[in-house]
């Protein structure tokens, strides 16, 4: 049996490894659009910001390791289309050659791509995203250029805040622009406020409820213009979100969510026989919300990839679902969450309530206790715990 995997980072390589552990006789062929396999993209801001000086620390397993397991890998090879009735993938190789490959079973693990809004001037030099390891290697070199002083970050989500921390570490002047009225929106407002205070305390010029209109300058970006002002920029980082990398899949029989994420069941099976999907290109089951959701996290990708790998070998493992667990460091503060936020819970369940507790991480009889804020969300009637944030 031959299994083709499209995508060779978290979900794809977790699946490839699991297949070879379950049934070494399966022929596994991986096609990856970019130049690296099996790396932790969560570490990219810390590499760019100089917290880590070796990008290889982000690579979980080398290409040579996968070859020793019997996994055939092809880098710089992009999937162009899939003919599901013929079980055939059309691909473009590193030298531009177009070729086809046939499969018995297929795993789509193409991940997500950065959203780049159609801002005028977005094509200028100095306007970048941070999504792939190649992005990180390039931006690391740019970031250490002493002529780069003013860095403007567009978007106040996790990546935007981590990039702010990274460029502060390099003593850059950092401006962060967010269209919403708060940063870190996966967390409840109490925690968004703490994150905003923290980055501001460290010198970030934070602009909320402000919308970017264009990037100005010559060939290279020189400033960012919004609906409320203009800010000098030697470098712009766009971090306004991601979308599933599924645009090349045009067969209407493959069911997708509104954002393009592939709809799968609890065994990672798509709507097409012998075609599975996992990771950031796929929807996933939320075990508390009791519905499909989209959660582009490496932890989810690795778990769903392993389950897909087992089931590609004929097993019937079911994914228990996600809880929305996430953690982030914002300058000197750490934030964590799991389950449903208060607004999420209120929209999905019977009446909910919450309580916030300010305490310390250990008793005062031991030196240097650290303050910690804990919020729990629960159903009013049953007292069932629905979520927590710290």
Tokens found for residue 93 = 């190789």
What torsion do the CA atoms of 48, 52, 56, 60 make, to the nearest 10 degrees? -100
| Strand 235-238 relative to strand 127-129, pairing | parallel
Q: What letter does residue 56 receive in the DSSP assignment?
A: G
Catalytic annotation, residues: 42
Coil/strand/helix, residue 344: helix
Assign 200 to helix, strand or coil: helix
Written as six digits, the tokens of 66 are 């996968």
Q: Measured between alpha carbons, how far is 213 from 119 in angstroms, rounded to an integer? A: 6
DSSP secondary structure, 225-282, as one string:
EESS-EEE-SEEEE-S-EEES-TT---TTS-B-TTSPBP--TTSB-SSTTEEE-GGGB
**Residue 87, token pair as written in the block:** 């079980």
Pairing of strands 326-330, 112-114: unpaired
What is the DSSP pairing of strand 326-330 with strand 291-293? unpaired
Cα 94 from chain centroid?
25
User: In this structure, are residues 206 and 229 in contact, taking their beta carbons and an 8 Å threshold?
Assistant: no
Angle between the 298-312 and 10-22 helix axes, to the nearest 10 degrees? 30
Q: Which long-range contacts (CB under 8 A, 24 or more apart) does 40-46 make?
A: 40/10, 40/298, 41/9, 41/10, 41/131, 41/132, 41/133, 41/298, 42/298, 44/130, 44/131, 44/133, 44/135, 44/136, 45/130, 45/159, 45/162, 45/163, 45/165, 45/166, 46/162, 46/166
């Amino acid at each position: 049996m031959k299994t083709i995997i499209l995508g060779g980072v978290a979900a794809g390589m977790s699946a490839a490894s699991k297949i070879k552990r379950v049934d070494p006789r399966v022929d596994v062929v991986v096609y990856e659009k970019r130049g690296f396999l099996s790396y932790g993209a969560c570490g990219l801001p810390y590499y760019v910001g100089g917290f880590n000086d070796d990008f290889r620390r982000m690579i979980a397993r080398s290409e040579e390791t996968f070859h020793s397991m019997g996994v055939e890998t092809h880098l710089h090879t992009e999937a162009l289309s899939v003919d599901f009735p013929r079980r055939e993938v059309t691909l473009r190789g590193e030298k531009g050659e177009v070729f086809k490959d046939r499969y018995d079973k297929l795993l789509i693990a193409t991940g997500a791509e950065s959203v780049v809004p159609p801002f005028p001037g977005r094509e200028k030099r100095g306007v970048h995203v941070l999504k792939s390891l190649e992005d990180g290697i390039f931006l690391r070199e740019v970031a250490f250029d002493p002529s780069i002083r003013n860095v403007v970050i567009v978007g106040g989500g996790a990546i935007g805040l981590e990039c702010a921390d990274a460029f502060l570490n390099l003593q850059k002047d950092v401006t962060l622009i967010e269209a919403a009225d708060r940063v870190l929106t996966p967390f409840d407002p109490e925690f968004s406020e703490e994150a905003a205070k923290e980055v501001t305390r460290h010198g970030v010029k934070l602009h909320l409820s402000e919308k970017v209109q264009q990037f100005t300058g010559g060939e290279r970006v020189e400033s960012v213009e919004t609906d409320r002002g203009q800010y000098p920029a030697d470098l712009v980082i766009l971090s306004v979100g991601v979308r599933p990398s599924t645009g090349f899949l045009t067969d209407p029989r493959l069911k997708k969510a509104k954002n393009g994420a592939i709809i799968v069941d609890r065994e990672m099976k798509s709507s097409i026989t012998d075609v599975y999907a996992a990771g950031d290109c796929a929807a996933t089951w939320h075990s508390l919300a009791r519905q499909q959701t989209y959660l582009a996290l490496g932890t989810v990708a690795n778990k769903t990839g392993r389950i897909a790998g087992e089931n590609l070998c004929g097993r019937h493992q079911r994914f228990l679902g996600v809880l929305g667990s996430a953690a982030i460091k914002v300058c000197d503060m750490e934030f964590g969450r799991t389950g449903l936020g208060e607004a999420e819970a209120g929209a999905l369940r019977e009446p909910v309530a919450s309580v916030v507790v300010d305490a310390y991480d250990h008793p005062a009889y031991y030196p240097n206790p650290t303050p910690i804020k804990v919020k729990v969300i629960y159903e009013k009637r049953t007292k069932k715990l629905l979520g927590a944030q710290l």
